[in-house]
Structure formats: structure tokens, C-alpha cells
């Protein structure tokens, strides 16, 4: 049979190991996985038919993630050798590294990290093979019950019956994972354990407290050293430290995830808010304000209660259940619904600095960057299908311009398409996705496609920026919604005198203003040009 590897054809037999075929034809040492017919797979997989293969190396994002995920398993191998009674929980890849949640009889401290890291290095130097085994769910449960790993057992029981269960063998250590993983520890050389923190099982504060060990791994020692240096710089620029030092804000245990603004910090916050307000006024937005609490029935009707119920704070009063708003969109539809609208009135643009609450797990809270109560620069544009392209084009260029004015020139734009769990018909989604693509291409915008990562009500364009420490922050979003207006009975009278449902465009430029202040503080190391921001609002030409 023919196997096409990196666009060149090679002969292979059914059952040949992919890694063996690659070794016979390629001399690269950093090949760690492959995409076979667009499916990411282990090199230990067999060739089953004529295939198109793309090699994955540690220079690729996928390859680096595989390296880091395997390094997390090597951490598990090391910790179980040093502390056999440790119970392993989960060890996913995160930005720039990985973590592993564990339950240890004797809680770990930062002083334990060098010892664990040294054991990891000894294991890596053995260059042992990492073996993948596909196994039945029942057998996997039996194995982890025998190994006294209750968290692995619980995770296994939650996996659907038709899903493939794979175990990865690191000598005597066994872990479970979808993969793919490295086939040998020889690919791991540049890694470090970074820090320890606390977490909760499944992110629920009512569950068992766990120990979370963070680590990082890179393709070269040079890359690792560069990353560690950036961590040192980031620590010096930590907005939590600078916020206290500069008397901008503080946090207290009595109100987790909610900020106490001091006068200087509040001045900065309002300078940014005033700047965005200037843009809104010059672009025909109606600035409104909607209630903090709405009856739960409205959130049920909009679809938010089913999708985001765990993040919603609720309160009861006079035998009624209310939700403290986690976002402003249903309230904006209620404003639109007041009074008859004609196609001649569209587009209608509502904007609000919505103060929203989300019940984020306590273990995820991080200064201004992840909080429970924050101000979002929400806006919603109600328009006809024919107006979508123009409105999206205006938003794309405006968001780029505003980021540039704040000193962020390195941007990444992503188009996220329909997720598995969604509302609305395929026909509606086809129309929504094609509208966004047309707007992006009409403005010659380079973008990445993110299949399956759209909102449940429509596709979206996400804007990320890179700061002075080379960290990427996702901020702005444009989300096309063909569903919610109809669910909440929004309508307008079209040219033929018939009632029609408007298209709704959700958009945020900065997202959480609190988070943006934190990003600015760290980007400028506590010395952002806030006076320039104040002046900018008076002389910037808005699109």
C-alpha cells in the first residue's frame, strides 16, 4: 500500500508500525507524532490502509503539547516512586506547560520539587519506551482499583461506553489518556517543575482539597531558559504586587474574586471606560443599563441556564427565583423589544458597561485576571442579514485600532465555528459562518480557523493580543447570533410589511475592564501611559 508522508509517497505493508516506516525514510530526531488522514495519532500506531501522513515534531504546537503531556506522565512516574501512596488525579497540558493534581499523604511543599525533578531526570536518562495499550473500560477500572487510584476509577466510570480507553505504560507506572504521547523518554530533556498550589477535585470547593504541581517542558534548553527568564520578568510585573505597591486596589477573603478599587485605581478604570464611551458615542450606540437580577425563566428561555447554570449566582425573593446576570445579552433583547421596529430603524446598537457576576471556581481566581464580579464592555447590534458584512467589517477594524492605541500591535484573530452542542439549524449556522468569513476576507484579515469552538448560539471571531512578556491574552470577541433574538421574541417589520427576526451581533472590545487593567499594568510593568489614554479619547478618529 502507499503511504504519503509529507507529500511524498512511500511503500508500506498493512500492520507496519508508523514509527518504523518513518525511521526508514527520515533522519529527523524530533518527530514525536503524526497526523494520519488529519487525525493526530501515536507513532506506535499501525498502518491500516493507504494514508496521508503529516509528521509532527517538537517544533510544532501539537508536538510541543505531546512532549509536555508525556512529561506530566513522567512526573507521575517519579512521584509514585518517591511517594507510592500518592493518588493521581488529572495531569493536562496548559499554556506553556502542564500540571498534575495529586492527593498525597504528606502534603508537598516547594522544597520537594527539586527532589521530584531529579527523579524525573533519572527516569528520562533511561530512555525507556512508552507503551500504549487500548483496553476495555471494565479492565481499566479493575487495573486502577487494584492500584488504589480512586480518582482514575471515577473518571473511567464517567467515560461513555463507546469511547476508546488507552493506557500508557511507563515501566511499572501506568496512566490513562486519550493521547497521543511520546514513544520514548529520549525526547524529553528541557523541563522544570515550577510551583505548587491547591485545587479541588472537579473544581468544586465542597470536594477534596488536592495538591497541584505545575511544570513546563520545551524542545530545547535554550527555549526553557528563555521561558524561565520571562517568568522572572512576569513576577516583577505581577499586577497583584504592583496594584498594592501603587495603591490601586486590593482583595479580601471576605469577598473572593471581587475587587476593592482605591481612588488611583478607580481613576485608571474610568479613564479606560471614558475612552470606550467616546467610541460608542461617535458610532451611534445607545448606551443603556439593564437590571442586575432577572427572573430565571428568562435565562431558561434564552438558553443560558442550560449552558451556564453552574456559573450563575441565584437568589430567591417572595417565592421567585432570580439569576444575577452573568452577561447582558438577554437584557438588551428586552430593551429592543420595547416598541415596534422597522427595517428602516436597523441597525440598532445597544452598549452597556454591564456589571456581571460569574461563579468561577475559587481555585481559578487570579487577581484582576480571573474574578467573579467584573465590568464587561458589552454591546449588541440588531441588524438585517444584508447589514452583517458591513457591521462586522466596522467592528474588526475598530477593535484592531483600539488595541493599537493601547500599545498592542501583535494580534491573533481566530474564527470559531459550530460546536457539537448548539442551538439553531444547520442552515442558520451555514449562513452565520459564511457571513463572518466574507467580512474577514473582504478586509484582507489573516485568521486561524478554530473548528467546533464557537458559542452555543453562533460562530465567533476572537481577538488575542501578545503583551511585552510574549503572553497571549484573548480579549475581544464578535459573535453572530441567529438564535437568541427568536428565542426571546425579538422582531422587526421588513420591506414587505412582514415580521422578521433580526440578526444579533454580540461584541466586546476589551471584555472585562478589570482584567484589561491587570493586563495593562503587567504589560507596562506598572508604568502605563494612562495620561496618553486620557488624551487619546479626545483626538482619536473612530471608524
| 210: its cell numbers | 488536592
214 sits in which H/E element: strand 209-218
Long-range contacts of the stretch 140-143 (C-beta < 8 A, 24+): 140/165, 140/167, 140/176, 143/167, 143/174
Q: What is the DSSP string of 10-71?
A: EE--TT-BHHHHHHHH---S-EEEEEETTEEE-TTPBP-SSEEEEEEETTSHHHHHHHHHHH
Alpha-carbon Rg for the chain, nearest whole angstrom, is 26
* Catalytic site includes residue 380: yes
Contacts of residue 69, defined as CB under 8 A and 6 or more positions apart, other chains included, come to: 91, 92, 93, 98, 177, 181
Whether residue 376 contacts residue 356, with contact meaning beta carbons closer than 8 Å, is answered with yes
* Catalytic site includes residue 410: no
Among the listed residues 69, 187, 460, 523, the single catalytic one is 460
Among the listed residues 181, 187, 380, 523, the single catalytic one is 380
Query: Any idea which residue has 476589551 for its cell?
Result: 510
Among the listed residues 71, 177, 329, 383, the single catalytic one is 329
* Catalytic site includes residue 376: yes
Contacts of residue 76, defined as CB under 8 A and 6 or more positions apart, other chains included, come to: 88, 91, 100, 170, 173, 175
Angstrom distances, CA of residue 122 to CA of 83, 97, 98, 119, 255: 16, 20, 20, 5, 45
Terminal-residue alpha carbon distance, the chain: 57
Query: Any idea which residue has 495529586 for its cell?
Result: 102
Query: Of 515, 416, 532, which is closest to residue 473 (Cα–Cα)?
Result: 515
* Catalytic site includes residue 329: yes
Contacts of residue 228, defined as CB under 8 A and 6 or more positions apart, other chains included, come to: 192, 216
* Catalytic site includes residue 506: yes
Question: Three-class SS of residue 323?
Answer: strand
* Catalytic site includes residue 460: yes
Give the separation between CA 424 and CA 422, rounded to whole angstroms. 7
Q: What is the dihedral of CA 321, 325, 328, 333, to 10 degrees?
A: 0
Among the listed residues 378, 462, 467, 481, the single catalytic one is 378
Q: Residue 231 — φ and ψ, nearest 5°? A: -65, -40
Among the listed residues 119, 170, 341, 376, the single catalytic one is 376
Among the listed residues 69, 181, 332, 358, the single catalytic one is 358
Give the separation between CA 69 and CA 64, rounded to whole angstroms. 9
Query: Any idea which residue has 505597591 for its cell?
Result: 245
Give the separation between CA 180 and CA 166, rounded to whole angstroms. 10
| 14: its cell numbers | 498493512
* Catalytic site includes residue 378: yes
Catalytic positions: 329, 358, 376, 378, 380, 460, 506
Amino acid at each position: 500500500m502507499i503511504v504519503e508522508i509529507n507529500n511524498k509517497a512511500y511503500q508500506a505493508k498493512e500492520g507496519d508500525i508508523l514509527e518504523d516506516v518513518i525511521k526508514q525514510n527520515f533522519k529527523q530526531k524530533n518527530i514525536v507524532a503524526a497526523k494520519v488522514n488529519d487525525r493526530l495519532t501515536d507513532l506506535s500506531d499501525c498502518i491500516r490502509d493507504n494514508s496521508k501522513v503529516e509528521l509532527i515534531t517538537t517544533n510544532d504546537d501539537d508536538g510541543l503539547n505531546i512532549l509536555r503531556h508525556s512529561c506530566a506522565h513522567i512526573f507521575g512516574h517519579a512521584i509514585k516512586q518517591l511517594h507510592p501512596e500518592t493518588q493521581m488525579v488529572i495531569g493536562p497540558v496548559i499554556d506553556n506547560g502542564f500540571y498534575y493534581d495529586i492527593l498525597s499523604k504528606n502534603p508537598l511543599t516547594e522544597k520537594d520539587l527539586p527532589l521530584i525533578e531529579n527523579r524525573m531526570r533519572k527516569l528520562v536518562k533511561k530512555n525507556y519506551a512508552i507503551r500504549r495499550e487500548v483496553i476495555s473500560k471494565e479492565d481499566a477500572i479493575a487495573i486502577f482499583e487494584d492500584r488504589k487510584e480512586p480518582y482514575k476509577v471515577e473518571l473511567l466510570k464517567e467515560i461513555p461506553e463507546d469511547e476508546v480507553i488507552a493506557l500508557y505504560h511507563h515501566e511499572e507506572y501506568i496512566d490513562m489518556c486519550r493521547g497521543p504521547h511520546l514513544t520514548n523518554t529520549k525526547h524529553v530533556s528541557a523541563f522544570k517543575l515550577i510551583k505548587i498550589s491547591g485545587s479541588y477535585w472537579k473544581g468544586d470547593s465542597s470536594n477534596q482539597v488536592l495538591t497541584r504541581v505545575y511544570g513546563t517542558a520545551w524542545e530545547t534548553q535554550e527555549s526553557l531558559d528563555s521561558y524561565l527568564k520571562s517568568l522572572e520578568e512576569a513576577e516583577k510585573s505581577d499586577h497583584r504586587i504592583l496594584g498594592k505597591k501603587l495603591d490601586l486596589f486590593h482583595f479580601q477573603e471576605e469577598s473572593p474574586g471581587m475587587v476593592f478599587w482605591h481612588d488611583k485605581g478607580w481613576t485608571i478604570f474610568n479613564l479606560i471606560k471614558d475612552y470606550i464611551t467616546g467610541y460608542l458615542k461617535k458610532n451611534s450606540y445607545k448606551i443603556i443599563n439593564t437590571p442586575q437580577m432577572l427572573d430565571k425563566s428568562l435565562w431558561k428561555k434564552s438558553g443560558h441556564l442550560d449552558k451556564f447554570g453552574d456559573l450563575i449566582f441565584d437568589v430567591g425573593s417572595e417565592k421567585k427565583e432570580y439569576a444575577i446576570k452573568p452577561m447582558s445579552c438577554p437584557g438588551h433583547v428586552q430593551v429592543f423589544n420595547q416598541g415596534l421596529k422597522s427595517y428602516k430603524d436597523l441597525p440598532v446598537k445597544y452598549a452597556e458597561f454591564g456589571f456581571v457576576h460569574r461563579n468561577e471556581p475559587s481555585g481559578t481566581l487570579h487577581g484582576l485576571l480571573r474574578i467573579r464580579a467584573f465590568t464587561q464592555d458589552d454591546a449588541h447590534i440588531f441588524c438585517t442579514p444584508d447589514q452583517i458584512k458591513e457591521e462586522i467589517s466596522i467592528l474588526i477594524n475598530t477593535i484592531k485600532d483600539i488595541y493599537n492605541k493601547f500599545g498592542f500591535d501583535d494580534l491573533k484573530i481566530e474564527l470559531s465555528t459550530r460546536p457539537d452542542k448548539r442551538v439553531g439549524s444547520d442552515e442558520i449556522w451555514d449562513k452565520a459562518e459564511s457571513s463572518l468569513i466574507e467580512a474577514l476576507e473582504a478586509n484582507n484579515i489573516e485568521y486561524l480557523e478554530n473548528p467546533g469552538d464557537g458559542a452555543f448560539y453562533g460562530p465567533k471571531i476572537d481577538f488575542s493580543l501578545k503583551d511585552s512578556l510574549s503572553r497571549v491574552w484573548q480579549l475581544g470577541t464578535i459573535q453572530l447570533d441567529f438564535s437568541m433574538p427568536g428565542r426571546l421574541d425579538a422582531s422587526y417589520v421588513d420591506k414587505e410589511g412582514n415580521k422578521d427576526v433580526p440578526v444579533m451581533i454580540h461584541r466586546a472590545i476589551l471584555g472585562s475592564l478589570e482584567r484589561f487593567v491587570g493586563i495593562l499594568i503587567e504589560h507596562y510593568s506598572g508604568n502605563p501611559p494612562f495620561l496618553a489614554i486620557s488624551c487619546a479619547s479626545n483626538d482619536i478618529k473612530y471608524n
